[in-house]
A and B are shown apart, each in its own frame.
Chain A
């Protein structure tokens, strides 16, 4: 293989890899799940939900890009409740982290938290 073709292939690979972290949106994981990172994630989710605060469902955002926000629990007399968690996914684009609401596309940036492609 000529040096030119090797260089071209390498350049292509770099560009493709870059698309995930620097280019178009891609599923992402947070690089930390400490209290500060989680607080910033919750702030972004609250912003996306239009609420003062949110309660996160199960899961570790450093392990899975799927995040859920719990609804208000049903009362004791709500025996056929339709409530569901609101589902979000973590995305990375141009090195920045976002939460994207799966049922409506609302997208909010997570400030001050690192993330990486999932």
Chain B
């Protein structure tokens, strides 16, 4: 079965994180810094005033109300006070506050440049930066994104695998009932794995030699508004080519893109493609999908989280309860937050008690009525399909279920490795995202900064769990038994072994290049423009640079 759903394309990203600063750092707090006065605060190394001393004292004061009708809290202040707020707020709430070098804010003339130094320079075991998630954006942009209306799209998730010639731009998946799945000569105009060769007559693969051509390409592939009509030359898996005409529409996210029930000799296997936990609609979408699985008496479940970058932790908890059921989760913790050492038992951001997230057993009121009992599958194991885009709240599902002894079988690639989170904080028109907590499961485990991987993965750094390393199969439709990762899950279920050959190093038949790094490092204008427009590029570890 397929559900009509459209992935709400998320905000654009880039990866221009500034290098962290080295060494030491302060851990004390006290009254060594005078409160802001006529001459402003002064710096004493490793002595911090409460962040509240400087909060909302702004160089530029906003007046009136924001997009949500809330009056701005700004008071007349200085850039220096904004910097001192950042310094104290980091000291109070940053997870790795003792690894930040305390520099004199007066040495900086830009708040974002200063903020970008307020993070750890440490690396993970694999050598990647421990904090890849430090960023900020204007509060106006942030609020515009959280309150945004449906976005113009064809109903296809488009990924740029290579941003420099020869460029490789392909369809990851489509949504039924959208322009992408309109039939042309009996087949959908766009389908998974299809490669876009030309856009409005411009060669996407090797063209784009002028800004005008680049604009044409981007405007055609990523329409900015509804009712735009463009033509694309598309090559489908298997090699056939044709030109299709598409008209964009305003489309709304549906987190569950599709579900299926696959009959086997040993019982029905459920399949759910869940692409995000972010919109409130994810609560009802998941409850409905699991209800459909329960109605068909599935004995195993395959959760396809390969493109799920996370979202609402509470909904991830609900999903985990729906999988595991009450016997394994009653009285247990889905995720406990660990803040910096100075926080003790408190949540240093809210000031309240650090209350863990339980396995929620009822609707929470996002889109399922508060208090309505959830109907779990109560399975002893679950298969999870993963890639590097499986991130954060999705990884929390894996970790949370392992914490209560549900057997999680991982099929696919290494997950992104983000056990961390933050509370966005506005100060004077800039919203800052600074890692403030790590999530750990009922067993107290949360050390997966290099991700989760299948037991047969070649890298030594991820947390290895049972399963098979399998490449994403762009030549097969999602949710069909022959698709590479789903096929591997079914084979592992049947035999307990991984199908040969396996390994994420294998390229699919279409020889797709992994392109996120190429995009991030490409000097081509196209790369920048794609990052601005391709709201599909939201998966960490690449993060938005501070503007």
- B-binding residues in A (CB < 8 A): 51-53, 57-59, 64, 66-70, 72-85, 87
Contacts and interface: CB of A to CB of B under 8 A. Distances in A.
B412 interface: no
B364 A84 contact: yes
B538 A64 contact: no
Nearest to A102: B370
Contacts of A87: 364-365, 370
Nearest to A78: B424
Contacts of A72: 68, 146
Interface in B233-253: none
Chain B, interface size: which category? 35 or more
Nearest to A59: B369
A82 B309 contact: no
Contact of B146 (A51, A75, A82): A75
Majority SS at the chain A contact face? loop
Nearest to B394: A79
A73 B418 contact: no
Given A57-B370, A77-B10, 13 more contacts: A51-B70, A58-B367, A58-B369, A59-B365, A66-B370, A72-B68, A73-B146, A73-B279, A75-B424, A79-B278, A82-B357, A85-B365, A85-B370
Interface string B512-532: 000000000000000000000
Nearest to A57: B365
B393 A64 contact: no
A74 B370 contact: no
B369 A66 contact: yes
Interface of B: 10-11, 13, 68-70, 135, 142, 145-147, 278-280, 284, 309-314, 357, 363-371, 391-393, 396, 418, 420-424, 433, 439, 535, 538, 540, 543-544
A91 B256 CA distance: 36
A73 B11 CA distance: 14
A70 to B, nearest CB: 6
18 contacts: A57-B365, A58-B284, A58-B366, A66-B370, A70-B280, A70-B366, A73-B280, A74-B278, A75-B11, A75-B142, A79-B540, A80-B313, A80-B392, A80-B421, A82-B314, A82-B423, A84-B364, A85-B370
Contacts of B309: 79
Contacts of A77: 10-11, 13, 135, 433, 538, 543-544
A25 B424 CA distance: 38
A82 B284 CA distance: 18
A80 B365 contact: no
3 shortest interchain CB distances as A-B pairs:
A68-B365, A79-B310, A76-B10
Contacts of A69: 365
Contacts of B69: 52-53
A57 to B, nearest CB: 4
B370 A80 contact: no
Contacts of B543: 77
A80 B369 contact: no
A64 B535 CA distance: 39
A80 B544 CA distance: 16
A107 B100 CA distance: 44
Q: Which of the listed residues A52, A70, A77, A82 has the most CB atoms from chain B within 10 Å of its own CB?
A: A77
A69 B370 CA distance: 10
B29 to A, nearest CB: 25
Contact of B439 (A64, A74, A80): A80
A35 B142 CA distance: 31
A78 B68 contact: no
